[in-house]
Structure 1
């Protein structure tokens, strides 16, 4: 793993899947964070959230811009591995039993129908609508018992950030087995209902945020405002940290 902007990223896709498989072979549970620009920004403003993000198995980089920032500052080339991609990769692999935890049954029903076209095993898996409540109010022992009875290896969670990351950290001590992965909007993207992901050409040219703003202007503009407001400070701190590391290496 590599630490940039205070987040422990794993950029190597094969290592991500190896780490998940290896963790599933051990007792207990863990979680994977899908860290986009919003999560990076929020984690660097809220120490308790940063602790949650780095308290899991690893984070993948769900941002087309963070690799650009890293290249500008550190001269290293990495690629985005977004939540939609890891979601489809694991679904299509047909390696694991999975459970899907979300908030709207209509989305879950559509998701089950669409994913069954990719992986027929999905039609016999559990899609569970979580109650609408504060993250501290979930019945974590009961949810863990349901997952244990189901026998799921991969627990997909879609509650939106930062709620879903706190949810995984609170559920982790109650689970005896499994890797949770928070995929945010991926449930909507692949349900056939509501917002879909941006076209590939927009993703390739780092323009996905424009598409998301057009589809969900109030939500996405609020997020963009926080990113723009704090990004210069984050970039400066990362650049300064890199220079200090280089200076320390020269002294050695």
Structure 2
């Protein structure tokens, strides 16, 4: 799949279904791959941290989750890019995995979230092979624990590992496991709690306007206020800087 760069942040392009099909193909061949579901928050984290930016650019696939990222792709490259949001991708991917009998492993999240997920899967995806679930402790893993986890996932027969650690932790973890875990790893973050009903998703009209972040902010103002004020403001600044430099013929 082709990738386009926005201020040294590579984003994979293509229609929505091509992303699902590509991930399923990678999973079928048990390729060790990492899929980053990119929004404005991830973009800004990468902009501020060169090491993290390298992790994103080295990822197998970087989906354009955030609506603003699709707008920039359209302005800079003239691409009418579909939004490939984790909240859409996750259930669609699980549906295909169920049909093709590709086992899923859920890594991350709290025990309560994983219990809710297990109950949800029973009726939403009853024939999905679940290779395992693991909620890690809230501390760095020791080398011995890490090695045991790799063996656990590989021996489970998992074709896809759904990683629920949040950005940027899940992207760093997937990068460290690429080449060790024989499966496709996807950072689904906040998409899983929404899918299983622990959180609500913004109405479609807010999603279309690129204001899904505002709905989330209203749900968790204390936790998300600082993140959204800083990241969204900086993204808007960088976007208009890109426009200004483009008009002057300056590469950025």
Say yes or no: TM over 0.5: yes
Q: Within 5 Å, which residues of 2 pair with 1:31-110?
A: 31-93=34-96, 94=98, 95=100, 96-110=102-116
Give the aligned partner of residue 11 of structure 1.
Answer: 13
Give the distance between the partners of 1:247 and 1:7, measured in 2 at CA.
Answer: 17
For structure 2, the residue ranges without an aligned partner over 5 or more in a row are none
Q: 1:219 aligned to 183, 199, 223, which one?
A: 223
Equivalent runs, 1:122-141 vs 2, <5 Å: 122=128, 124-134=130-140, 139-141=145-147
Q: Deviations over 1:66-124 (max 9, x none)?
A: 11233334433212110111101111121211001123011111112112222113475
- Taking structure 1 as reference, are residues 220 and 55 closer, same or farther at Cα in structure 2, changes over 3 Å only? same
SS of the counterpart of 2:179?
A: helix
2:185 corresponds in structure 1 to: 180
Compute the displacement of 1:138 (Å). 8.5
Normalised to the residue count of structure 2, the TM-score between the two structures is: 0.86
1:207-246 CA-partner distances (Å, limit 9, x unpaired): 21111001111222111122244224422554467568x7
Check conservation: 2:68, 2:210, Cα contact below 8 A.
yes
Aligned to 1:164: 170
Please provide the CA RMSD for this pair. Answer: 2.6
Question: Using the alignment, how far apart are the partners of 1:117 and 1:210 within structure 2?
Answer: 31
1:33-71 deviation digits (Å, cap 9, x = unpaired): 000110011101100001111111110011011112333
Query: Contact 1:101/1:129 (CA < 8 Å) preserved in 2?
Result: yes
> How many residues are matched?
245
Unaligned runs of 5+ in 1: none
Q: TM-score, normalised by structure 1?
A: 0.86
